[in-house]
Amino acid sequence: MTPLLTVENLSVGFGRADPVVRDVSFEIMPGQTLALVGESGSGKTVTCRAILRILPRVARIHSGRILLNGRDGPRDLATLSQRDLRAVRGDTVSMIFQEPMRSLSPLHTLGNQVAEVLWLHRGASGGDAKKQVLDTFARVGFPDPERAYGSYPFEMSGGMRQRAMIAMAMVGKPDLLIADEPTTALDVTTQAQVLGLIKELQQETGMAMILVTHDLGVVANMAEQVVVMHKGRVMESGAAAAVLGDPAHPYTRQLFDAAPAIPANPEFVPEPPHDDLILELKNVNKTYTMRAKSSWKAQVLIRACRGVDLALPRGTTLAIVGESGSGKTTAARIALGAERPDEGGEVLFKPERGSAAIAVHDLNRTARTAFQKQAQMVFQDPYSSLSPRMRILDALCEPLEIHGIGSSSERRDRAAQMLAQVGLTSDMLMRYPHAFSGGQRQRLSIARALMLNPSLLVCDEPTSALDVSVQEQILCLLEDIRDRLGLSYLFISHDLAVVARIADEVAVMRQGLVVEQAPPETLFHNPRHPYTKALIAAQPTPDINRPINLKLVAQGAGAPESWPEAFRFSETVVPSLMQVEPGHKVRCHV
């Protein structure tokens, strides 16, 4: 069989510098899925963008051939004119980009953006194009295709925006789909559904796919062939079963070792004492009011948190897991005092062992300032949580300046000390954030949070934007700092493998409710709630013999009305959180 795409000795560089992609070669057959695997900076995305010649202006292809045997016969994409390339893009070859919010125009509706492919490449009329787009929207899982057609990207969730990107790539029925990290920013349940959708559409249309990812679990579920890249070169390639089953190159083995996974044989850890609670949430509710789409006068109530009760013993880690919109970040913001709970809710904080608990939302200005020193936050995105205009020294010293702590030299010494705590050196103080990698920036964010010597850190998805190897480094750092400094963590995540690694207690949230709570060794190996089971089933593992159970994911991640009767809840009827065994609570009807 003739390969659909053959890449031969491809080298790509920026300006006059040495190539960042060197002598990359691979081929993909019709209907096949090939995974390009590697960390950030390995050259995966540059290689894929070179195929469609959508590189930055300063980049150029130094050498190599990109042979496409599409519906119009064999062609070398590396030498095609721009006119001929425009005919290939979106027609014979389509691409799904990593961040749909940046890839979709905020000024045009989703329907018009997807229909544009048919207008340009198929000459479809407005009515025909709309009909095909609505059919495609229904196919990719929009519950209301007509509404989605007239919606703007900012009106949709991340999962729905990614489905729109898939629809845009699929509506023209391409021969080859290039998917650049299509699920990195998605929750595990949404990721599983999107991967299942792509696979299903691929089987229906017979298209080939290049899947760019750093997640070996995704590779195991999707790919027949694997190409492992590092620093612009191919380290290892071959059949997925061979590469995943017995990796030959040390770098591939390193990726495997760094990949977090839910342990098959849990180690039962003694339950920490609950007599010294640093943080306690009691009956926390939070309701937002939004304008209804049907009428500008009508209002819709969004119940972000519903009767949340959580307790964090000093020196331990409490993880809150759930999909986007589950209420976990709202609960964390309320715990920090950044938002007030509805009437009747209370957040108690105990600064030191043996001290009296204080009500976080009833503090005067002086007491609030003292609380803010004790409770700090590490944000999800290390690229936006540091100001690009501030040197690292200024960014680290800013909290000390705000609180009037120390002289200029003392602040500088403290900044150097914190860099050493997170594994960086003092010669980095005068650099700007753009000079650092994603992992280094997250280390800097952690150092900034530690400047005031807090006792509580709220970590909001601190590893979700990082590669697996960098993720492993940050998790090791967080564990080390917690043990050395006696910190307590409120850890927000949707990645169960990460949570299994770092948490002492796990609370699972769905639609503002805690639906199950237990230590990780209990929760992950004896889950009771259908939503918890769906989260675990959706977690991809780098084992081709353990595919994602899409049926279980769809059942548990669906509407509560589809759950077994004992677990169902509604706006008016909410079951209690029952203790089914010591330390294990499940929200269910008796």
- 361-386 pLDDT, tens digit per residue, is 999 999 999 999 999 999 877 777 89
Write down the pLDDT at residue 384. Answer: 79
> Can you give the pLDDT at residue 361?
94
Q: Which amino acid is at 171?
A: V
DSSP-derived secondary structure letter, 272: P
Nearest alpha-carbon partner for 349 in 283, 279, 282, 281 = 279
Per residue in 103-120, pLDDT (tens digit) is 889 999 999 999 998 988
Is residue 467 over pLDDT 80? no
* CB 252 within 8 Å of CB 235: yes
DSSP state of 60: E
185 pLDDT tier (thresholds 50, 70, 90): low
What is the CATH T-level fold of the domain 1-92+174-259, as seen in this structure? Rossmann fold (3.40.50)
Which H or E element spans position 552? helix 550-557
Q: What is the pLDDT of residue 216?
A: 86
pLDDT at 542 over 90: no
Domain ranges for the chain, please list them.
1-92+174-259, 101-173, 277-526
Q: What is the pLDDT of residue 274?
A: 63
Average pLDDT over residues 436-450: 89
Element (H, E) at 68: strand 59-70
Burial 100-131 (b: 16+ CB within 10 A, else e): beebbeeeebbbbbbbbbbeebeebeeeebbe
Q: How sure is the predictor about 204, in pLDDT bands with cuts at 50, 70 and 90? A: confident
pLDDT of residue 561: 84
Give Dmax (Cα) for the chain: 77
Q: Which of 532, 449, 441 is nearest to 488 (CA)?
A: 449
Instruction: Reply yes or no on whether the pLDDT at 573 is more than 90.
Output: no
Give the angle subtended at the CA of 518 by the CAs of 515 and 524, to the nearest 5°. Answer: 90
Q: Which residue type sits at 585? A: K
One-letter amino acid identity for 172? G
Is 287 a residue whose pLDDT tops 60?
Answer: yes
pLDDT tens track for 167-184: 898 888 889 999 988 877
Dihedral sign (CA 427, 436, 380, 486): negative
Mean pLDDT of 401-408: 93
| Tokens matching residue 35 | 């995974």
**Closest-CA residue to 442 (of 427, 420, 464):** 464
pLDDT-derived band at 90 (thresholds 50, 70, 90) equals confident
**pLDDT of 45 above 70:** yes
pLDDT > 70 in the chain, percent? 96
For residue 590, give both structure tokens.
């008796």
How far apart (Å, rounded) are the C-alpha atoms in residues 323 and 325? 6
Percent composition of the chain: helix, strand, coil (DSSP 3-state, to 5): 40, 25, 35
Is the CATH number 3.30.1330.60 carried by domain 277-526?
A: no
Taken in order 74, 76, 77, 81, the sign of the CA dihedral is: negative
Tell me what pLDDT residue 390 has: 95
Q: Would you state the structure tokens that stand for residue 582, as one six-digit string?
A: 């010591």
What is the model's pLDDT at position 295?
61
Helix, strand, or coil (residue 247): coil
CB 449 within 8 A of CB 490: no
What's the pLDDT at 266?
60
Rounded average pLDDT over 535-555? 83
Closest CA to 115 of 101, 104, 126: 126
- In the chain, the percentage of residues whose pLDDT exceeds 90 is 56
Q: What is the pLDDT of residue 297?
A: 64
Mean pLDDT (the chain, rounded) = 89
Same fold, 1-92+174-259 and 277-526: yes
Dihedral of CA atoms 49, 51, 57, 62 in degrees, nearest 10, equals 120
Q: How far is CA 264 from the centre of its chain?
A: 23
State the Cα–Cα distance between residues 39 and 190, nearest whole angstrom: 23
> Residue range 457-480: average pLDDT?
86
Residue 4 and residue 29 in contact, taking contact as beta carbons nearer than 8 Å: yes
The full length of the chain comes to: 590
What is the phi/psi pair of residue 559, to 5°? -65, 145
Give the single-character DSSP code of 89: B
Residue 296 has pLDDT above 70, yes or no: no
> For residue range 228-246, what is the model confidence (pLDDT) as tens digits?
999 999 999 999 999 998 9
Residue with the bigger pLDDT between 187 and 480: it is 480
pLDDT number for residue 268 = 58
Classify strands 346-349 and 277-291 as parallel, antiparallel or unpaired. antiparallel
Are 399 and 452 spatial neighbours (Cβ–Cβ below 8 Å)? Answer: yes
Query: Which pLDDT belongs to residue 53?
Result: 94
Among 349-353, 398-402, 438-442, the minimum mean pLDDT is found in 438-442
Among candidate residues 141, 285, 215, 188, the one with its CA nearest the CA of residue 556? 188
The residue-averaged pLDDT of 281-300 equals: 79
What pLDDT does residue 481 have?
Answer: 92
Confidence check: pLDDT of 301 > 70: yes
Instruction: With a cut of 80, say whether residue 101 has pLDDT above it.
Output: no
Region 543-557 average pLDDT: 80
348 pLDDT exceeds 90?
yes
pLDDT confidence of residue 273: 57
Is the pLDDT at 269 greater than 60? The verdict is no
Nearest to 262 by CA among 439, 503, 544, 585: 503
Give the model's pLDDT for residue 258. Answer: 81
Higher-pLDDT residue of 316 and 188 is: 316
Q: Coil, helix or strand for 226?
A: strand
- Give the pLDDT of residue 397: 96
